[in-house]
Amino acid sequence: MNPDLRNLIALQDLELKITSLQKQFSDIPSLVQGFEDELRRTKDEHDARVTRSKELANRKRILEGEVDMGRSKLSRLKDQLMAVKTNKEYTAMLHEIQMAEAQIRGEEDKILEIMEEIEVKEKELKGEEQEMHKKVAELQENSRKTRESAPHLEADLEKMRQQKILMESQIGTEMLSRYRRIADARKGVALAEAKDELCSACHVRIRPQMYAELLRTDNIHACDSCSRILFMREVV
């Protein structure tokens, strides 16, 4: 293989790795923020369920207090019933007693409904709490690892940049300039592997004569469609 082409292949492979690492590095703040946001949502959702359970318990206590007051009122009404002197007063008092009893029954029914909901919520919370703690721990660990990866990525990038400078010094000026022009026009990919008689970048068929020359000569050829420099990767 043409030495310059071999060096260009290694250079492009390295530059693609650098681009990938640079993206990983630049994505770290948004990844960490994503973990923090999800962590906050997880805690907020759990807190909302706990708050709902507390609200139900508080509502239950309020209704129980109202039932106690209703029973006290009912007891007074029954005592007063014994003191009425006319049928009209007696009928009116009976109606008031019936209304008080109906109100107590209604509030007791509500208490039962709330007790059932509290029981369901407590079971759900008990089951969800362990999962919540597990998820929180995972999110915190992911956030920590992502933050800690930054210095390592930065060190790897610096090593690769130094390797890149060394590789560029081993490539002819004219060939390197050609490589850069194509790379700038083709989103950083100046070389394309010729495989199965196709350009792997644009998937256009390579002319038979050109493909044959790629197989048996060290000459530099470019794809007729995308203008990328064609190569056949050597089997290691």
Give the pLDDT score at 123: 81
Give the pLDDT score at 236: 53
* Beta bridge mates, 230: 192, 221
Please, are residues 28 and 150 in contact by the beta-carbon 8 Å criterion? yes
Residues (pLDDT < 70) of the chain are: 235-236
Instruction: Count Cβ atoms within 10 A of the Cβ of residue 227 and give its class: 0-12 exposed, 13-18 middle, 19 or more buried.
Output: middle
Question: What does pTM read for this prediction?
Answer: 0.64
**Pairing verdict, β 191-195 and 229-231:** parallel
State phi, psi for 86 to the nearest 5 degrees. Answer: -120, 160
Give the pLDDT score at 58: 93
CATH for 25-148?
Answer: 1.10.287.1490
Q: Where are the domains of the chain?
A: 25-148, 175-231
Give the pLDDT score at 42: 85
